[in-house]
């Protein structure tokens, strides 16, 4: 399945006049304020977000899973799905694989297919939270933190294997997320578990190719509900520091206790040069993995404001890896991702409009009301015409969801894969 460029162009024709009018209006207003509109549009085009292979089928909960028709059955079909999203949005130029859910069989063919969609391979994810088929050991009581050396070794070897696979595909980073922890007080010794995790991570770290980075993800709970070994950014930061300069913290927006100030965490990490990667999603209660921007768009904007500041002022922090980590049970998974990408770009565009110089002056003057005005002035701007412009310039759709529907992408996927196809790995 491939979306024809010409077809996207045809769907754009109908909305071209209204786009031009709204873009002209906003471009004028912003130019009057001294904003370089072309720069903003270019930055939007450069901002590429990796799509997780596990978000292409319908997710599920412990109460069941309702499949979505036409789900991708193989890695190739997953790449086709990301290709379709990228063709429409021009923002999804990468895929993030999960091993063993996405074991490539023919590397050459996979790479060729990805290249034909202009997609690169972003961070590879290891999986030591499920028992591999016919495995000699079990991760029931943990993996990298396990009390048993044989289990830890097994988990370390798996991570090394994932690095090898990623290396074949051109990935440059490994994301480690651990489910390790305890379900009940007294179940584990916190200090032993942390020490073992540090040792195991270090073993993985030393095998990283020179130009690779290790991302250490943290999460306060689930599937263990009393404690997790890497519970917060501080623990991840400490582990990354002890591993070395190629190890970084990965922030997943859903991995915080309610009301945590994530923008402040982002700022601290960038100041210390340790923000490696990002998992975008949104949540109402916990690690809900909802569509980005669907619940707390202002919080997302404030996070982007911290990210933009960091990218402009913290050369000590390498350019972070942007990934979505969401999954939806009810919506068409591809429409869900398109909505997430739109929300990400919108928050980013608004953050780019913040007058940093004015904000700094207002901060120096302790003009608190003005500080808020400056942020909200940017946040309240309707930046959608800027997003449209950026997509249009690169052959994307003015309105990706509308185009997705009018081009009948889902119908074509169902025709190709069938109504009952189940995404591999799920
Ligand atoms: C789990 O909660 C994390 O967000 C991880 O990033 C995980 O690997 C991913 O969600 C796939 O299961
Ligand atoms: Zn995540
Ligand atoms: Zn998560």
Interval 250-273: pLDDT, tens: 999 999 999 999 999 999 999 999
State pLDDT tens for residues 170-209: 999 999 999 999 999 999 999 999 999 999 999 999 999 9
* Whole-angstrom distance, CA of residue 149 vs CA of residue 22: 62
Residue nearest to atom 3 of ligand 1 (CA): 177
pLDDT at res. 302: 98
CA 56–ligand 2 middle distance (angstroms):
15
Nearest ligand, measured from the Cα of 255? 3
Q: Relative to the CA of 287, which ligand 1 atom is closest? A: 2
Ligand 1 mutation pick, 177, 179, 225, 285, max ligand atoms within 8 A of CB? 177
> Please, which pLDDT band fits residue 305 given cuts at 50, 70 and 90?
very high
Annotated domain spans of the chain = 5-417
Residue nearest to atom 6 of ligand 1 (CA): 177
Say what percent of the chain tops pLDDT 90.
93
Which of 165-184 are b and which e, b meaning 16 or more Cβ less than 10 Å from the residue's Cβ? bbbebebbbbbbbbbbbbee
Pocket of ligand 1 (CB under 6 A): 54, 98, 125, 177, 217, 219, 252, 279, 287, 325
Residue 220 Cα to ligand 3 midpoint, Å, equals 10
- Rounded average pLDDT over 358-374: 98
Q: How far is the C-alpha of 173 from the C-alpha of 276, rounded, in Å?
A: 9
- pLDDT of 61 reads 81
CA pair distance 363, 379, nearest whole angstrom: 18
Question: What confidence tens digit (pLDDT) does each residue in 223-244 have?
Answer: 999 999 999 999 999 999 999 9
Quote the pLDDT of residue 59: 85
CA 101 – ligand 1 centroid, Å: 13
Asked if pLDDT for residue 426 goes beyond 70, the answer is no
217 CA to centre of ligand 1 in angstroms = 9
Instruction: Please name the helix (run of DSSP H) or strand (run of DSSP E) that holds residue 288, with its range, or none.
Output: none
Place of tokens 């540090």: 198
Instruction: Let me know: does 96 contact 51? Beta carbons within 8 Å.
Output: yes
Band of the pLDDT at 134, cuts 50, 70, 90? confident
pLDDT in tens, 12-59: 999 999 999 999 999 999 999 999 999 999 999 999 999 999 999 998
Gap from CA of 325 to ligand 1 centroid (Å): 7
Question: How much is the pLDDT for 284?
Answer: 96
The alpha carbon of 244 and the centre of ligand 3 are apart by a number of angstroms equal to 25
Ligand 2 center–CA 386 separation, angstroms: 29
- Residue 25 has what pLDDT? 98
How are strands ordered across the β-sheet holding 98-99? 98-99, 124-126, 173-176, 213-217, 247-252, 275-280, 321-324, 50-52, 94-96, 120-121
The yes-or-no verdict on residue 112 having pLDDT over 70 is: yes
Residue nearest ligand 1's atom 9 by CA: 325
Which atom of ligand 1 is nearest to 325's Cα? 10
**For the chain, how long is the longest CA-to-CA vector?**
67
**Could you give phi then psi for residue 275, rounded to 5 degrees?**
-90, 110
Q: Please tell me the distance between residue 326's alpha carbon and the centre of ligand 3 in angstroms.
A: 8
Question: Across all residues in the chain, what is the average pLDDT?
Answer: 97
* pLDDT value of position 328: 83
| Beta strand 120-121 pairing with 94-96 | parallel
Percent of the chain with pLDDT over 70: 100
Is the domain covering 5-417 a CATH 3.30.450.40 domain?
no
End-to-end CA distance of the chain: 21
Residue nearest to atom 10 of ligand 1 (CA): 325
Residue nearest to atom 12 of ligand 1 (CA): 54
- pLDDT number for residue 102: 95
Q: What is the pLDDT of residues 52-77, one digit of tens each?
A: 999 999 988 888 888 889 999 999 99
Contacts 24+ apart (CB under 8 A), 58-66: 58/327, 58/328, 58/329, 58/330, 58/333, 58/423, 58/426, 59/289, 59/327, 59/328, 59/329, 59/333, 59/426, 60/329, 60/426, 61/329, 65/329, 65/426, 66/329, 66/330
Rg (CA), the chain: 22
The confidence band for 1, taking pLDDT boundaries of 50, 70 and 90, is confident
pLDDT at 133: 86
Q: Which protein residue has the closest C-alpha to ligand 1 atom 5?
A: 177
């Amino acid at each position: 399945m491939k979306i024809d460029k010409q077809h996207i162009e045809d769907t754009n024709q109908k909305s071209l006049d209204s786009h031009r009018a709204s873009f002209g209006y906003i471009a004028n207003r912003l130019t009057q304020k001294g904003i370089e509109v072309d720069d903003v549009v270019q930055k939007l085009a450069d901002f590429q977000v990796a799509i997780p292979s596990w978000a292409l089928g319908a997710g599920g909960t412990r109460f069941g899973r309702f499949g979505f028709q036409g789900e991708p059955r193989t890695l190739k079909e997953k790449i086709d799905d990301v290709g379709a999203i990228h063709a429409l949005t021009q923002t999804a130029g990468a895929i993030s694989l999960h091993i063993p859910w996405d074991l490539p069989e023919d590397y050459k063919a996979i790479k060729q297919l990805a290249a034909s969609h202009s997609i690169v391979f972003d961070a590879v994810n290891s999986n030591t939270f499920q028992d591999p088929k016919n495995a000699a050991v079990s991760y029931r009581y943990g993996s990298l933190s396990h009390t048993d050396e044989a289990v830890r070794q097994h988990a370390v070897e798996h991570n090394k294997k994932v690095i090898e696979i990623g290396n074949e595909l051109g990935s440059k980073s490994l994301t480690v997320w651990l489910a390790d922890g305890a379900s009940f007080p007294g179940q584990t010794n916190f200090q032993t578990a942390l020490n073992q995790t540090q040792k195991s991570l270090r073993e993985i770290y030393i095998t990283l190719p020179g130009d690779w980075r290790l991302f250490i993800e943290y999460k306060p709970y689930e599937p263990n509900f009393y404690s997790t070994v890497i519970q917060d950014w501080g623990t991840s930061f400490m582990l990354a520091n002890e591993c070395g300069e190629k190890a970084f913290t990965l922030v997943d927006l859903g991995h915080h206790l309610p009301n945590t100030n994530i923008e402040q965490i982002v700022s601290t990490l960038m100041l210390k040069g340790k923000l490696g990667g990002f998992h975008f999603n949104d949540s109402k209660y916990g690690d809900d993995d909802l569509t980005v921007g669907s619940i707390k768009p202002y919080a997302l904007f404030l996070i982007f404001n911290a990210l933009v500041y960091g990218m402009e002022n913290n050369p000590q922090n390498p350019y972070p890896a942007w990934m979505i980590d969401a999954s939806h049970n009810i919506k068409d998974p591809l429409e869900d991702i398109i909505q997430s990408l739109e929300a990400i770009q919108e928050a980013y565009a608004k953050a780019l409009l913040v007058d940093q110089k004015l904000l700094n002056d207002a901060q120096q003057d302790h003009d608190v009301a003005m500080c808020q005005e400056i942020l909200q002035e940017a946040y309240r701007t309707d930046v959608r015409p800027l997003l449209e412009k950026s997509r249009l310039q690169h052959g994307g759709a003015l309105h990706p969801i509308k185009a997705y529907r009018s081009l009948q992408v889902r119908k074509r996927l169902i025709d190709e894969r069938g109504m009952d196809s189940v995404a591999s790995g799920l």
